Amino acid sequence: MAHLEADSASRARESAFRMLARREHSRAELRLKLVARGFAEDLIDTLLQDLQNERAQSDELYAESLLSSRLRVGYGPLRIRMELKDKGVDSALANRVVAGAEPEWDRVLTMLYDRKFGCSPIRNFKEWARRAQYLQRRGFDTDAIKRVMGSWTSAVSDTHEDELTEPEPGS
């Protein structure tokens, strides 16, 4: 019987290392995957504690990895924080990791806005709202969006000023 337990423990350990070799996993995520593979709960708890003690698994490394990945594709702090919590990362840790990237949010938002909308002018409120909603879905708050896009009234006045200063064709 002890041989079966040792064999099961080594299979669980191998399975966990294969998953961790592909990418970082949160403790909760790794636990769910090991349970799905049919390993015993007490064996999983012991294994996860051993992996943390050996620094093979860390929720902090996972959170930093996910943050870096999501920053590259243009997700905002609200979306990243929500995703970390969904993956079982402690709220305090998620908040701390996301807060550590604070100076980058406006740069990420500006990059995303430019990539998606370029320099096409905002012609009406519907267009402004559509763009703002897109950025909100990506995880940016209203204040950050207004810093990059301006408020609806400032966007309209900027558009009208541009139209007034553009030379007439053929002049």
Asked if 39 and 123 sit in the same domain, the reply is no
Asked if 133 and 68 sit in the same domain, the reply is yes
What the block records as the tokens of 8 is 């099961």
Q: What is the pTM of this model?
A: 0.79
Quote the domain boundaries for residue 114. Answer: 61-164
Write out pLDDT tens, residues 21-49.
999 999 999 999 999 999 999 999 999 99
The packing angle between helices 2-22 and 27-36, to 10°, is 130
Asked if 68 and 134 sit in the same domain, the reply is yes
Number of domains in the chain: 2
Residue 49's φ and ψ, nearest 5 degrees, are -65, -40
For tokens 């698994």, the residue is: 57
Write out pLDDT tens, residues 107-139.
889 999 999 998 888 889 999 999 999 999 999
Residue 23 makes CB contacts below 8 A (sequence gap 6+) with 65
What is the number of helices (H) and of strands (E) in the chain? 10, 0
Residue 135 makes CB contacts below 8 A (sequence gap 6+) with 76, 109, 112, 113, 144, 145, 148, 149
Write out pLDDT tens, residues 143-161.
999 998 887 776 555 555 4
What is the CATH classification number for the domain harbouring 41?
A: 1.10.10.10
